[in-house]
Amino acid sequence: MGQIELKGVTKRFGDAEVIPPLDLQINDGEFVVFVGPSGCGKSTLLRLIAGLEDVSGGEIQIDGRNATAERPAQRGLAMVFQSYALYPHMSVRKNIAFPLKMAKMSQREIDAKVDNAAKVLNLSSYLDRRPGQLSGGQRQRVAIGRAIVRSPKAFLFDEPLSNLDAALRVNMRLEISELHNTLKTTMIYVTHDQVEAMTMADKIVVLQAGRIEQVGSPLDLYRHPKNRFVAGFIGSPKMNFIGGAEAAKYDAHEIGIRPEHIDVGTTGAWQGRVTVSEHLGSDTYLHVQTDYGIINVRADGEVALHHGDTVWLTPNAACIHRFDQSGNTL
Amino acid sequence: MARESTPQRKIVVTVIAWIIALAIFFPILWTILTSFKTEAQAIAIPPRFLNFDWTLANYVTVQERSNYFGHFMNSVIISLGSTILALAVAIPAAWSMAFVPGKRTKDVLMWMLSTKMMPAVGVLIPIYLLFRDWGLLDTRAGLIIVLMLMNLPIVVWMLYTYFKEIPGEILEAARMDGASLGKEILYVLTPMAVPGIASTLLLNIILAWNEAFWTLNLTTSNAAPLSTFIASYSSPEGLFYAKLSAASTLAIAPILILGWFSQKQLVRGLTFGAVK
């Protein structure tokens, strides 16, 4: 089981309230991603759940039990840190075995569990090396190994892939998703990368300034963002925002349209000039200077447009998001 | 552009380095040479470098006149004792300042260091009077306490710098893995900080060994370490350079040997954290 519930959890550092009262329900077996810009409190929230920070108010329940005052190890959660946080003076085997040794397990049991975890994570041939002799991806796998041997109620990941290069990041992302499918254990994953959030999560929690802006499935957030912040944060490239008279036509203070929901043609609603065109083969990204500012467009396949070309843009009316003065979706 | 390292340049740099090193080492070399001369040759003008009658007479005299081994043991006990006591106080202090810093931690550190800038003679009278009243004059325990207090700021600072280098996340990982505070310090912090603790220990032993101000002022015979032993040869019958040199050589030899064998550790320790 790994059901976690936050009830009115707050965190203050001195006079600064970094997390105002917050409620959140995380169901057993769910893959939940906390996402938001730097400094939004997502890591702090994870550390509160882990017990590495004390809450200033409210209650944290794990499997229906009040765990607010429990020490980190008592909560039965395992954490994977951004810096891997491996013990540099211990071999891979000893690193993975450390939590079991702390739990006073017998050596036979420890060996069996470590060997099993090493097999799952392809680390069997590295067990006698030190962390310093491993690549970034291997270190991350050791950190995950150290987490899974404990059979925790939930895994907590704190931006685990941000120290890896782009190609490795995609691989590790898949590995973590596979691990979740195999173990079916609750996972809470913190990232500022909305692509990671969209691809991995069952449920995304978007945070800003310690507040939850929206909770929902990736596609739910993509299709029905509650406000301008979520609309702008989820989706890549970012949503275009247009205010003024053009928005008024749609009876809104501001409208938002995703780059993939704009057609490019020789006639259309908005005229503009291409400033930059990015040709990826599968897609073409166009940055178009219009009367409403720069509008980003994502066109399928290869589009033969280049710097200086004049184009007409037509938004797909069904996909226009409307926002009121305070940024809430209408 | 990277600086070019031509063979000529290397030779010039090496020669300069040797000249500087020899200039720094020369007084010690001269002391050692003088200890093997007769008193007359020791003050001969022009000075004799190697062409003199080598003799061990000064060492014999020094042995006869004073109890070298007793002073040596005092030095060992005082420097080791004050170092171990300082580490026992400084490790928890540095741990808390490095990992659970408060608002004023930096100020406390600066304040501790600033006490080292005060001339020691400023507190000599009060400490002397306290020692007299508490019966600590000319005792090893008294010197251990004073030298521990004198070097504590440096020990705390050094350990603080080493502990700062250890990422807090590793200690948090240990906490998540179920380690208690004791096990966290035993299995994770200490093994990672061993090089730092070792070089702090070495440096502090050397500082305590070489200390002369407090040892001269607070001891006479019973607890007198080697620094006091040297001083006893500079008076009162006038200077006997050869005997003084023999005494000095005997006093610095142990610490010189210790420093020689631990120089790598010392250099690494002192430049720790300077380059990442």
pLDDT in tens, A91-130: 999 999 999 999 899 999 999 999 999 988 888 899 999 9
The per-residue pLDDT for A166 is 84
Q: Which residues of A touch B176 (CB under 8 A)?
A: 50, 52, 72-73, 77-79, 99
Round the average pLDDT of chain A to a whole number and report it: 91
Closest CA to A211 of A10, A77, A2: A10
- Tokens representing B158 are 């050094």
How far B96 CA lies from chain A's nearest CA (Å)? 16
Give the model confidence (pLDDT) of A165-201 as tens digits.
888 888 889 989 998 998 899 999 999 988 899 999 9
For residue A301, how many C-alpha atoms fall within 13 Å in the half-sphere facing its CB?
A: 4
Using CA coordinates, name the residue in chain A closest to B193: A89
Angle formed by the axes of helices A166-183 and A136-148, to 10°?
20
Tens of pLDDT, residue by residue, chain B (276 residues)? 556 678 888 999 999 999 999 999 999 999 999 889 888 787 777 887 777 778 888 888 888 888 888 888 888 999 999 999 999 899 888 888 998 888 888 899 999 888 888 888 888 899 999 989 998 888 889 999 999 999 999 999 999 988 888 888 899 999 999 888 888 888 888 888 888 888 888 889 988 888 888 888 888 777 888 888 888 777 665 677 888 888 888 888 888 888 888 777 777 666 654 433
Max Cα-Cα span within chain A: 75
Contacts of B209 (CB under 8 A, 6+ apart): B75, B79, B225, B226, B227, B254, B255
Q: Which residues of A touch B174 (CB under 8 A)?
A: 87, 98
Give the model confidence (pLDDT) of B106-139 as tens digits.
899 999 888 888 888 888 899 999 989 998 888 8
Backbone angles phi, psi at A5, to 5 degrees: -130, 130
| Residues B172, A85 contacting (CB under 8 angstroms) | yes
Give the model confidence (pLDDT) of A45-89 as tens digits.
999 999 999 999 999 999 989 999 999 988 999 999 988 899 988
Which SS3 state, helix, strand or coil, does residue A313 take?
strand
The per-residue pLDDT for B275 is 39
| Residues A130, A90 contacting (CB under 8 angstroms) | yes
DSSP B74-118: HHHHHHHHHHHHHHHHHHHHHHHHHHS--TTHHHHHHHHHHGGGS
Residue with the two structure tokens 């898949």:
A174
How far B198 CA lies from chain A's nearest CA (Å)? 16
Which SS3 state, helix, strand or coil, does residue A116 take?
helix
A154-158 and A77-80 strand pairing = parallel
- The percent of residues above 70 in pLDDT, for chain A, comes to 100
Average of pLDDT values for A287-314? Answer: 91
Q: Is the pLDDT of residue A140 over 50?
A: yes
Using CA coordinates, name the residue in chain A closest to B188: A87
Using CA coordinates, name the residue in chain A closest to B194: A89
The per-residue pLDDT for B273 is 46
Reported in sequence order, the residue ranges of B141-248 that DSSP labels E, i.e. its strands, are none
Q: Which residues of A touch B179 (CB under 8 A)?
A: 73, 98, 102
Residue with the two structure tokens 């002391």:
B31
Alpha-carbon torsion (A177, A179, A180, A181), positive or negative: positive
| Residues A258, A225 contacting (CB under 8 angstroms) | no
Q: Which of A71, A73, A81 sits opposite B169 (nearest CB)?
A: A81
Based on the number of CB atoms within 10 Å of its own CB, is B74 exposed (0-12), middle (13-18) or buried (19 or more)?
buried
Give the model confidence (pLDDT) of A32-43 as tens digits.
999 999 889 899
Which of A47, A75, A87 would best serve as a mutation to test chain B binding (most B beta carbons within 10 A)? Answer: A87
B179/A87 Cβ within 8 A? no
How far A192 CA lies from chain B's nearest CA (Å)? 19
Q: Is it true that the peptide bond before A237 is cis, omega within 30 degrees of 0?
A: yes
Residue B215: DSSP 8-state: H
The per-residue pLDDT for B145 is 92
Straight-line distance from the first to the last Cα atom of chain A, in angstroms, rounded to the nearest whole number: 39
Look up the pTM and report it: 0.76
A87/B188 Cβ within 8 A? yes
CA–CA separation, A41 vs A9, rounded Å? 12
Q: Which residues of B touch A85 (CB under 8 A)?
A: 167, 169-170, 172-173
Q: How far is CA B249 from CA A10, A314, A323, B242, in A?
A: 67, 93, 86, 10
3-state DSSP: chain B helix, strand, coil percent, rounded to 5? 75, 0, 25
Tell me the domains of chain A and their CATH numbers.
Answer: 4-231 (3.40.50.300), 240-323 (2.40.50.140)
Count of pairs with CB atoms under 8 A, one residue in A, one in B? 56
Closest CA to A240 of A192, A197, A193, A297: A297
B175/A83 Cβ within 8 A? no
B176/A50 Cβ within 8 A? yes
| Residues B86, B155 contacting (CB under 8 angstroms) | yes
SS (HEC) of A17-49: EEEEEEEEEECCCCEEEEECCCCCCHHHHHHHH
The per-residue pLDDT for B270 is 61
A4-13 and A57-62 strand pairing = antiparallel
Q: In terms of CATH, what superfamily is B66-227? A: MetI-like (1.10.3720.10)
- Tokens representing A3 are 């059901």
Backbone angles phi, psi at B24, to 5 degrees: -70, -40
CA–CA separation, A139 vs B29, rounded Å? 52
Reported in sequence order, the residue ranges of chain A that DSSP labels E, i.e. its strands, are 4-13, 16-26, 31-35, 57-62, 65-66, 77-80, 154-158, 186-191, 203-208, 211-216, 240-243, 254-257, 262-265, 270-279, 283-290, 293-300, 310-315, 321-323
The per-residue pLDDT for A49 is 93
DSSP A172-184: HHHHHHHHHHHH-
Straight-line distance from the first to the last Cα atom of chain B, in angstroms, rounded to the nearest whole number: 21
Give the model confidence (pLDDT) of A235-271 as tens digits.
888 999 998 888 888 899 999 999 999 999 888 889 9
Q: Which of A79, A82, A103 sits opposite B176 (nearest CB)?
A: A79
Compute CA A276 distance to the chain's CA centroid, rounded to the nearest angstrom. 29
Which SS3 state, helix, strand or coil, does residue A287 take?
strand
Residue with the two structure tokens 């396949």:
A301
Compute CA B30 distance to the chain's CA centroid, rounded to the nearest angstrom. 22
CA–CA separation, A40 vs A192, rounded Å? 9
The β-bridge partners of A100 are none
Interface of B with A (CB under 8 A): 167, 169-170, 172-179, 183, 187-188, 191-192
